[in-house]
Amino acid sequence: MTSSSASALIADRPPKPLPGSGIESWTLSEEITFLNHGSFGGRPRAVAEAQQRLKETLDSDPFVSIWLHSEEQLLAARTAVASFVGADPGDLVNVVNATDAINAVARSLSLDKGQSVVTTGHGYNAVTQTLRHVANRAGAELRVIDLHPPLPDEAGLVEAFAKAIDDTTAFVMVDHVSSPTAMLFPVEEIVRMCRSRGVPVMVDGAHAPGMFDLDVEAIGADFYTGNLHKWVSAPTGAAFLHVSPEHQSSIHPTIISHYYSEGFQPEFRWLGTRDTTAFLAAPMAIDWFRTNFSWEAVQSHNRQLVSWATGVLCDAWQVEPLDVPESSAACSMRTIALPGSLQATFNEVEDWRDWLRRDHRLDVAVHDWAGQWWVRLSAHIYNRPEDYQRLIDVGLSFDSR
């Protein structure tokens, strides 16, 4: 195995399951071995039921709930979420998902012809497409830093951004934890460097809330978004956008409604009639983990389980994990190269994933990235060592004749 995988990124043994953490407490089907929390999350039953109760209250008197009470209810939820992610509630608004937040920011930029937008080849496709759209519209350049393996260390990542930025750069987008590669970017240092050069920077923290302790204010980005439906396991459609005070008057939601130009908070609060119960239930998800297990125990369990699973899978399949910097050990996802033999049988890596789902009821994320096929393991508290053993046992058992 590679140098970093031998150290902090591989654990010798799996963690002990947390009492009460079994899949029966989740709405996830017990028929599927689910190793894919990172894509769309999953919901504890208690959280799904709390959202259902909120929906019933809302539907019992829609005018009062939707029109009269939504402001105070959303303020209470924003305050709880802000405290969890280390932000002032006045600088944070609820959005439906990270894509929504990134579109709001990117489409509010006033980009000019000849300017550039900088991101990396580790970005989530929908995000890169959004940047492509705003750059194309303005006649600006989208500059994608490839960062293919062998990957640099943390200092090298900062250096790569520093080199890509020049006098034309009007906006930088950096992942906190990247989607195809499960790599933790040194966002504090990248933000500091960008700001020292006067370039606004947004952190795509879709995976960060709940995966590890988050302090949005300490990161100090101009813009930060995080999903709550991934690692916080809030209902689908719960996310936040944090905007530093100096930009708040120039950032508008993608949907313009009643409160246009009346301020950051009012503009984002009302985007037409819609269901806000996912965000309203997010504090319940935060509390469910806190009171039943403690966030520290959850995060440490998930980190250790994915590290152990990576080691056993790589040994069994004789493959290598992506050699990410050691700080990525804070993540509860890991990306591993798939054996080249798969390509003799499957046209696309998604065909292998479909075969796993169809023939073995096993769900895991896959990526075709940097000219290679990868599998991305996730670990949450309902996962057990046997789940990864199933993947190891069946994953290469396809008939290649």
Smallest CA-to-CA distance from 90 within 297, 274, 263, 303 is with 263
* Nearer to ligand PLP among residue 11 and residue 306 (C-beta): 306
Closest distance of CB 100 from ligand PLP, Å: 6
* Nearer to ligand PLP among residue 15 and residue 123 (C-beta): 123
Closest distance of CB 119 from ligand PLP, Å: 11
How many other C-beta atoms are found inside a 10 Å radius of the C-beta of residue 254?
16
Contact of 209 with 227, CB cutoff 8 Å: yes
Closest distance of CB 375 from ligand PLP, Å: 15
C-alpha pair distances (Å), 150 with each of 131, 156, 157, 322, 370: 26, 11, 12, 9, 11
How far, in Å, CA of 279 to CA of 236, rounded? 9
Closest distance of CB 68 from ligand PLP, Å: 29
Closest distance of CB 130 from ligand PLP, Å: 10
Contact of 210 with 176, CB cutoff 8 Å: no
Residue whose structure tokens are 């250096």: 159
* Nearer to ligand PLP among residue 21 and residue 227 (C-beta): 227
* Nearer to ligand PLP among residue 108 and residue 168 (C-beta): 108
Closest distance of CB 207 from ligand PLP, Å: 6
Closest distance of CB 114 from ligand PLP, Å: 28
* Nearer to ligand PLP among residue 11 and residue 92 (C-beta): 92
Put the strands of the sheet holding 365-369 in their side by side order.
333-337, 372-378, 365-369
CA angle 391, 397, 399 (to 5 degrees): 145
Contact of 330 with 212, CB cutoff 8 Å: yes
Q: What is the DSSP string of 219-272?
A: H--SEEEEESSSTT-PPSS-EEEEE-GGGGGG---SS--TTTTS-HHHHHH-SS
Contact of 293 with 302, CB cutoff 8 Å: no
* Nearer to ligand PLP among residue 10 and residue 104 (C-beta): 104
- Residues engaged in binding ligand PLP (CB under 6 A): 39, 97-99, 124, 126-127, 175, 179, 204, 206-207, 227
Residue whose structure tokens are 């140098």: 3
Closest distance of CB 345 from ligand PLP, Å: 27
* Nearer to ligand PLP among residue 120 and residue 299 (C-beta): 120
Closest distance of CB 283 from ligand PLP, Å: 19
Strand partners, 33: 362
Please tell me what DSSP assigns to residue 209.
Answer: B
* Nearer to ligand PLP among residue 98 and residue 322 (C-beta): 98
User: CB-based burial of residue 281 (10 Å sphere; 0-12 exposed, 13-18 middle, 19+ buried)?
Assistant: buried
* Nearer to ligand PLP among residue 97 and residue 332 (C-beta): 97
Smallest CA-to-CA distance from 132 within 119, 147, 149, 114 is with 119
